[in-house]
Amino acid sequence: MTRIIKVAVPGPFRTPLDYLPPQAEPSADVPVEPGSRVSVPLGRRRLVGVVVGAEDHSSLDAHRLRRVQKVLDSAPILDTDILELAHWASEYYHHPLGEVLARCLPPRHRRPDAGTPRTPRVWQLTAAGLSTDLATLARTPAQARAVETLRAATAPQRDEDLRAVGIRSEIIRKLEQAGLIVAMDAMVASALEPPVSDDRPRLNVHQAAAADAIVAAMDSFVVSLLDGITGSGKTEVYLHAMTSAMAAGRQVLLLVPEIGLTPQAEQRLHHRFGSAVATLHSGMSDLLRLRAWERARRGGARILIGTRSAIFTPLPDLGLIVVDEEHDESFKQQDGLRYSARDLALVRARNRGIPVVLGSATPSLETLHNAGAGRYRHLLLPERAGGASRPTMGLVDLRRHPAPEGFAAPLQTAMNEALTAGNQVLVFLNRRGFAPVLRCSDCGWMADCHRCDARMTVHSRPAGLRCHHCGARRSLPPECPQCGAPEPMPIGQGTQRSEHVLGRHFPGTPVIRIDRDSTASQPALQAALDRIGRGDPCILVGTQMLAKGHHFPAVTLVAVLDADSGLFSADFRSSERLAQQILQVAGRAGRAERPGRVLIQTHEPNHPLWETLLRQDYAAFAAAALDERRQTGLPPFSHLALLRAEAPDRATVWAFLERTAACLDGEQPQVAVLGPVAALRERLAGRYRAQLLLQSPTRPPLHALLRNRLAEVEALPESRRVRWSLDVDPIDLY
């Protein structure tokens, strides 16, 4: 009897592939369980796949089957929790299972040559070893010296490290017997550090009510929306719930939207929980990611903080998931497997029967809709914690107060006042570079990208033109290429220009710019945040990187330079996005004792959106926005999938999408197949883009359609001439 091993291999395969057991293990009972990695041949390549099952027979001819080359894990490395989540994601996002499972592994575990890393044994102090009085070891000086050595070491020590400083194996054994040290696997060991302190603030009544509600439902799938204004102390509520989960022997997963926010969260949790905390995000080296992943998988890490991909980490004792800033769009992956980590968190929690907390000051409309329908519990934190008051908000009418250099007179006055009083000012402008347009004032020529339907952005230091869509770079033309007039003019404001202008207006005040150009690296960002944290008067200029989650106690004035572009955008989510952005950035003002103020420059002071936003009444805004979505039948009142395609020439794209539309149309009468239509920016990086939108009042027919017809679309000859992708629950439609 030949056993067939079903392996999910990365690649465009809708089903797992069949392999014979490896040669080296001829016994019929090959211990290859679902969740173990194997290396398998595929064409002329060798790949890492994940075993998903075994069968007695294959539908393929036995002589065509190839053998598993090597079993990489003696026991499953992905547990049933993760396998179940991966299956779900593969079906829901209509994405190959092998590709989904590859995402569940840290990069090092995806390499066929890497094998299981060698892990020497290391020694570390136990809690008793940490606290024991060295005087009690006075009669055994060698043991005392060994304990001292381990206390002074920054990391656990290998046998040979200890022998090198004259500590013999016999001493090590005695200490182990005495329970002062413990042997650990080097891969997952980290110095045992107790919490720094226990100085938790007393929860206020709202926090206590929210925390009690979460803790009371610790053993079942309950979704809580923690809807608390910025600075209301949501993090304290998470910490309280985490403490309770950990006391019950559970692990906790905390998802945060941005890499930039992980050090901050890590610091706060490390302070409270010691070295039981591990961090996982794509900015870490492959080795560090592997270590954190293994610590989490083996239960060494009790709390895992991570960005969206951390949702796929095995956590054997997982008992609570917290999604901080749940509205944030970075939880949605925008290429490959286009998943929402927030939505997967709910699925994982439902599978396991554990609670989830979704926290935000500006919850997404989907989440509010679910809370309103009674599917989530709605916990409110209506006041700022610790005595800070809400900022006041106002508009600066740019029609009455022109701002040729980006800063209207009333704003400049307010900035002056804040700085003179010894405070910090935050200037928000969601456009990096020097200026968005380069224009000839004689003939009106503008610098366009040759490969995209887009203007080139002017950059200073290094000077040049850059396309923010495809990355193309050109030098600044000394004269207009069309009419020859000298020096085309940069028009409009970017963060670099604001930095420059502010340097002139406020000489002697440091200007710190935070955007992807100035602080691309984590250390650069951290250095900037540290400088701000010192609290000396300064001006921060930045993009949305500044708006998210950061705690800047010395900022009292927040200026929003240009919000108007969000008022009239074509995308149905633009007003939601604008409201969230404004209230989040406003939330950076006055978070400590000093009261805050927010000024928004606009040409459209009468736009109805301002009225609700100035009252900081996100709930009223959301209710109106949801009403509009209901009337227009947009999510959450319908469900969408977007099929995007691109190719170097337009006709190929349209031919594919027209065939696809014909193939999809009519199969499910409830699903509207809309398009093809050109993408908002039709040409990008030299390729033409168009799309089909599938819209359905409920989810099942939409998924049935995709399940039934996607294979046909894949088989279309036209599909091989385009790049195409499917986005289920897209967050933008262009």
- Per CB under 5 A, residues contacting Zn ion are 440, 442-443, 445, 449, 451-452, 467, 469-470, 472, 480, 482-483, 485
Identify the CA nearest to 302 among candidates 193, 212, 214, 176. 193
574 binds, among Zn ion, ligand ADP, none (CB under 5 to 8 A by kind): none
Cα dihedral sign, 124-128-134-139: negative
Among 124, 230, 262, 695, binds ligand ADP (CB under 6 A): 230
CB of 72 or CB of 203, closer to ligand ADP: 203
**Partner whose binding site includes residue 567, from Zn ion, ligand ADP, none (CB under 5 to 8 Å by kind):** none
Partner from ligand ADP, Zn ion, none contacting 551, C-beta within 5 to 8 A by type: ligand ADP
Distance CA 103, CA 601 (A): 43
Alpha carbon 633 to its chain centroid, in Å, reads 29
Cβ distance to Zn ion smaller for residue 449 or 560: 449
11-19, 198-206, 486-494, 511-519 -> range binding ligand ADP (CB under 6 A): 198-206
- Both tokens assigned to 501: 């202008």
DSSP 687: E
Q: Which listed range, 118-126, 196-204, 328-336, 372-380, lies at the site for ligand ADP (CB under 6 A)? A: 196-204
Q: What is the CA 559 to chain-centroid distance, rounded?
A: 26
Cβ at position 253, least distance to ligand ADP in Å: 18
Closer of 236 and 576 to ligand ADP (Cβ): 236
Tally Cβ neighbours within 10 Å of residue 565. Answer: 12
Question: Near ligand ADP by CB under 6 A, which window of 78-86, 158-166, 232-240, 688-696?
Answer: 232-240
Per partner kind, with CB cut-offs from 5 to 8 A, the member of ligand ADP, Zn ion, none near residue 482 is: Zn ion
Lookup: tokens for 363: 């919850």
Task: Using DSSP, state whether 564 is helix, strand or coil.
Answer: helix
Q: Are 694 and 532 in contact (CB under 8 A)?
A: no
- Closest distance to Zn ion from the beta carbon of 153 (Å): 52
DSSP letter for 109, please.
Answer: G
Compute the distance between CA of residue 10 and CA of residue 47 in angstroms, rounded to an integer.
8
Please state whether beta strands 157-158 and 121-125 pair in parallel, antiparallel, or not at all (unpaired): antiparallel
The site for ligand ADP, by CB under 6 A, has a size of 16
- How many Å apart are CA 195 and CA 271, to the nearest integer? 6
Give residue number: closest CB to ligand ADP: 386
Binding residue (CB under 6 A) for ligand ADP from 69, 126, 140, 204 = 204
Q: How far is the CB of 240 from ligand ADP (least distance, A)?
A: 10
**C-alpha closest to that of 618 among 434, 405, 360, 347:** 360
Report whether 703 contacts 93 (CB < 8 A).
no
C-beta closer to Zn ion: residue 408 or 465: 465
Across the beta sheet with 473-474, what order do the strands follow? Answer: 457-459, 464-466, 473-474
Q: What angle do CA 313, 317, 323 make, to 5 degrees?
A: 55
Separation between Cα atoms, residue 253 and residue 448, nearest integer Å: 45
Of 201, 316, 484, 595, the one binding ligand ADP by CB under 6 A: 201
Which residues are CB-neighbours of 92 under 8 A, at least 6 positions away?
703, 728
Q: From the CB of 474, what's the least distance to Zn ion, in Å?
A: 10
CA distances, 165 to each of 69, 135, 149 (Å): 44, 21, 9
The CB-of-193 to ligand ADP minimum distance in angstroms stands at 22
Beta bridge partners of 66: 19
Q: Is the Cβ of residue 386 or residue 503 nearer to ligand ADP in the bound state?
A: 386
Q: What is the C-alpha end-to-end distance of the chain, expressed in Å?
A: 53
- By the rule CB under 6 A, 233 interacts with ligand ADP: yes
Residue 465 binds which entry of Zn ion, ligand ADP, none, CB below 5-8 Å type-dependent = none
For 694, other C-beta atoms within 10 Å of its C-beta total 24
Distance, CA of 417 to CA of 391 (rounded, Å)? 16
The least distance separating ligand ADP from the CB of residue 255, rounded to whole angstroms, comes to 14
Annotate each residue in 447-476 with x if it binds ligand ADP (CB under 6 A) or - if it does not, as one string. ------------------------------
Pattern 526-565, ligand ADP, x by CB under 6 A: -------------------------x--------------
Q: How far is the CB of 268 from ligand ADP (least distance, A)?
A: 8
Residue 234 found at the interface with ligand ADP (CB under 6 A): yes
Query: Counting Cβ atoms within 10 Å, is residue 67 exposed (0-12), middle (13-18) or buried (19+)?
Result: middle
CB of 590 to ligand ADP, least distance (A): 11
Sheet holding 157-158, edge to edge: 157-158, 121-125, 181-185
Q: Which residue has 């790949």 as its token pair?
A: 47
Q: Report the candidate in 591, 192, 550, 571 with the shortest Cα–Cα distance to residue 385.
A: 591
Q: By CB under 6 A, is residue 187 in contact with ligand ADP? A: no
Q: Give the x/- contact pattern for ligand ADP in 343-382, rule: CB under 6 A.
A: ----------------------------------------
In the complex, what is the shortest distance from the CB of residue 265 to ligand ADP, in angstroms, rounded to a whole number? 10
Among Zn ion, ligand ADP, none, the one that 470 touches (CB under a kind-dependent 5 to 8 A) is Zn ion
d(CA 525, CA 516): 9
Among 18, 99, 236, 343, binds ligand ADP (CB under 6 A): 236
Give the contacts of 651 (CB within 8 A, at least 6 positions apart). none
Residue number with CB closer to ligand ADP (230 or 696): 230
Q: Which stretch binds ligand ADP (CB under 6 A): 23-31, 234-242, 624-632, 717-725?
A: 234-242
User: Mask: binding to ligand ADP, 383-422, rule CB under 6 A, as x and -?
Assistant: --xx------------------------------------
230 touches, from ligand ADP, Zn ion, none (C-beta below 5 to 8 Å by class): ligand ADP
Partner touching 452 among Zn ion, ligand ADP, none, CB below 5 to 8 Å by kind: Zn ion
CB of 574 to ligand ADP, least distance (A): 24
DSSP H or E stretch at residue 6: strand 4-8
Using an 8 Å Cβ cutoff, are 555 and 577 in contact? no
Interaction site with ligand ADP (CB under 6 A): 201-204, 207, 228, 230-236, 385-386, 551
